[in-house]
Each structure stands twice: as structure tokens, then as C-alpha cells.
Amino acid sequence: MPRTLGLDDLAERACRAIIAQFRRPTGKVGKLFGVLMGMRASNRRRNRWAVEHLSIQRGDRVLELGCGPGVGVRYAVEAGAHEVLALDHSIEMIRQADWRNRPAAAAGRVVFRLGGLETLHPEDGPIDAAFMVNVVHFLPDRMQAFDMIGELLAEGGRLAVVYQPRMRKVSEAELLAGAEELAAEMREAGFADVACHRLELKPNAALCVVGHARARARRAVAGIQAKRDARPKPELRLVVSDQAGHA
């Protein structure tokens, strides 16, 4: 057996540390991560792309889960959102997001809240659109998250979930299987017209799964029916972006 001099263990620990910082940036390292996320062209592009799929109208109220350094918040404001409620578990990210969106925050168009979905209340609704970018894989219970967001969304409100595997190259089958799983969970939570959009980036394509909220009573019926229905789910519609991507 070849000797690795402990490099494999070191690499694994480094990987875990990086993932932990992306989950909840802290300290000086977290501050650096936030700066890099704010500057990185691919991150800006993912966030802008997510906001574009929300079709934000003037006067809309928007929720972002895991706002990071506030890149997506800024695009939502520029798209015409009347108010953006931005959540993040990292105080360092809240500080950077506030700095990046200072004029909008001062005007009352952006509200930052430290924490996650557990900080939401019925009074926070109705929301016209919600999104998350590379956050879904950190959620302890995705179905619960989709249910909670669905309860706040107005009928016809949009939810966009963007994810892009970053730590390793994944196969096309694995990438699409993840999108299918998200789509099935969103349907079970009562979302309708679920579709997947694709943006070519490196090392893997980014996928955006978008669903539309139904009225509360219809969502409840749809959720019960989804659990009872043993038939195969409808095939996920995949829309490929016509733009080439770069990391």
C-alpha cells in the first residue's frame, strides 16, 4: 500500500472545513469566503440567473434563503422587488450583504434577518417569489422547507432552487437525478408547473428547479394525492440556457 504521509486525511479535513465555511461562514476565514463569493463571476451569474427565473414584477415581495454576501438580494432589488427579506445563519454574511445593499436597506426595501426558516412567521407573508442558491444541500429537511415556503407564497408565487455541485465533477446522470428528486419533492409539497432550467458552468452545470405555489387548500389536496398516487411522476421539463458558462 503506497504511503500518503497523512495527505489523504489532511485533504479530507480541509474539504470538511471548506464545506463548513460555505454552510456558515465565520471569523476571518468566513469573511474572506464572503468576499470571494461576492467577487466570483460564476456566483454572480448563478444569482442573476436565479432571479431571472422568478419573473419579479414591480412591487413584489421576495424571500431569499441563505443570502450570503447579498449578491442575489441586489439583483432582486434591481429587478423591481418592493421588499426583499433575506435570511442567513452567518452574521458575517449579513454584514457583507447589508454593505452591498446599503441604499436599498436604508430605504426599507431590504430586511436582513439572522437565521433560517425557523425565523419565519405567518406575518412575513404573503411572498410573491422565493429563491435559494446553493443552499438546498444544507437543509436538514427539504420537504419541511418547501412546505414552509409554500405556506408563505401567494397563489402563483414562484420558488426557484438553484444548485451546482462544486467540490467534484459529477456525471450527467447524477446531476439530473438530483434535479428529479428536488422536482418530486416540490410537487409533493404542492407546487405546480415544476420545470428545470440548466446553465452551463464549470466544473458542473447549474440547475434551477422552479415551481409555482397553489392556493393553500389546493396544496393540501395535492400533497395528499401525491402521497397516495403510485403512478410515475410526470417527466421533468428541462430547459437549457442558450448561454455558455465559465467558472
| The model's pTM | 0.76
The pLDDT tens digits of the residues spanning 206-238 come to 999 999 998 764 555 455 455 545 444 444 445
Over residues 143-152, mean pLDDT: 95
CATH (residue range 8-240): 3.40.50.150
Q: What is the pLDDT of residues 53-78, one digit of tens each?
A: 999 999 999 999 999 999 999 999 99
pLDDT digits (tens, 9 = 90+) for 99-143: 999 999 999 999 999 999 999 999 999 999 999 999 998 898 999
What one-character-per-residue DSSP string does the chain give? ----TTHHHHHHHHHHHHHHHHHS--HHHHHHHHHHHHH-HHHHHHHHHHHHTTT--TT-EEEEES-TTSHHHHHHHHTT-SEEEEEES-HHHHHHHHHHTHHHHHTTSEEEEES-GGG--GGG--EEEEEEES-GGG-S-HHHHHHHHHHHEEEEEEEEEEE---SS---HHHHHHHHHHHHHHHHHTT-EEEEEEEE--SSS-EEEEEEEPPPHHHHHHHHHHHHH--SPPPPPEEEE-SS----
